[in-house]
Amino acid sequence: MNTAYKPTADEIKRLRDETGAGISDVRNALIWSEGDHQRARARLGELGQAKAEKKSERAANEGLVGSYIHAGGKIGVLVEVNCETDFVARNERFKELVRDVAMHVAAMSPQYLDRESVPSDVLAGVKEELEKTVPANKPPDVVEKILSGKLNKWYEEHTLLEQPFVKDDAQSVGELVNSVSGVLGEKIRVRRYMKFALGEE
C-alpha cells in the first residue's frame, strides 16, 4: 500500500456514498489505488466478496421485498432479499441491490434461484440432453470435463445467482450480492422472486 497518497475528504465521501463501505475501508482502498476511483471501487468489491464468505453461516431474517415494473406495466417482478438487521435493510446500497435484482429478473427471466433450486428430475433431463451432444469416441475423463463445462453453462443461463448481471456482465448476480454483503458487513441472500408478464400463465 502506498502511504504517500492521502485521499481528500470529498474523495472519501464520494466513494462511501456510492458503495456504502466503512470510512476506513474506503480510505484504504483509495490509498491502495493511489486515487484511482474505479480501481478503489473494484478493490472494495473484492474485499466485500471475501468478507461475505465468512458470513455465510449467519442468519439473515430481516430485509426487503422490492418490486420492478417494466414495459408500461406489462411486466412486473417481486423479489425478497434478506439481511441480518433492519439497519442494513434501510441502507440505500441495500435498497439499490434489491432494485437491481428485481430489474435483472425482469430482463433475464431466470427459471431457478440457484443450483439447489433445480428439481432433480429437471436436472436429470438436462444431463441426458447434454450427453447427446458429446462425441461418442471421447475418453471417459474427457467426456466428464465436457459435460461439466456444458452443465456450468446451463446453470449460468438458467439460474438467477449465476447469470451475468444485466448491468455489468463482468460479474454474476451472486457475485454482486456477495460484494454488497461484504461492503455492508452483513450476510445478504436472495430468498425468492416472482415475475409476472401480462397475459402469461
Query: pLDDT tens, 86-134?
Result: 999 999 999 999 999 999 999 999 999 999 999 999 999 999 999 898 8
The answer on 170 and 138 residing in a single domain is: no
Q: What is the pLDDT of residue 173?
A: 97
Domain extent for 106: 62-113+159-197
What is the tally of structural domains in the chain? 3
C-alpha cell, 131: 450427453
The answer on 79 and 13 residing in a single domain is: no
Q: Has residue 1 been placed in a domain?
A: no
161-181 mean pLDDT? 94
The answer on 92 and 49 residing in a single domain is: no
Q: Has residue 179 been placed in a domain?
A: yes
18-22 mean pLDDT? 72
The answer on 42 and 66 residing in a single domain is: no
The answer on 16 and 100 residing in a single domain is: no
Q: Model pTM? A: 0.71
Q: Distance between alpha carbon 196 and the CA centroid of its chain, in Å?
A: 21
Residues 74 and 90: their CA atoms lie apart, in Å, by 29
Q: What is the pLDDT of residue 121?
A: 96
Q: Has residue 84 been placed in a domain?
A: yes
The answer on 140 and 77 residing in a single domain is: no
Q: Are 119 and 126 in contact (CB under 8 A)?
A: no
DSSP 8-state secondary structure symbol assigned to residue 186: S
| Dihedral of the alpha carbons of 90, 95, 98, 102, in degrees to the nearest 10 | 130
Q: Has residue 107 been placed in a domain?
A: yes
Helix extents (H) in 63-119:
86-89, 92-108
Query: Residue written as cell 439447489?
Result: 116
Q: Has residue 149 been placed in a domain?
A: yes
176-191 mean pLDDT? 91
